[in-house]
Amino acid sequence: MDRVALRGLKARGHHGVFPEEREAGQTFLVDVVLGLDTRPAAADDDLAKTVHYGIVAEEVVAVVQGEPVDLVETLAERIAQVCLQHEGVREVEVCVHKPDAPITVPFDDVTVTITRSRV
């Protein structure tokens, strides 16, 4: 399976279990790796036979900016489901970064990574 990756998609969301996270919001970064067969697109040099990663990027950002959820796990799941709606995408790995998580000790990043595929 071939891979098309989008790394470091950045959007502001209001996700989290604490009221201050919901009110103030914070920046989330998302990486998605789409699994698909790119051979038909390459053979015909045809965008319609692959995934349009610009559209995927916009949809991922819309999910982050959309309806708030408590858990990063839920956010990752919603992003995965949006990606799998694209014809040809058979598998997706989603990594959601929450670099401003409310943790009381020094840290660089918090991530949740999931992999989903069509059944």
- Residues carrying an active site annotation: 98
Residues in the chain, how many? 119
Give, in order, the Cα–Cα distances in Å from 67 to each of 2, 23, 34, 53, 109.
32, 13, 23, 23, 23
Spatial distance between the Cα atoms of 44 and 27, rounded to a whole number of angstroms: 39
Which one-letter amino acid corresponds to residue 61?
A: V
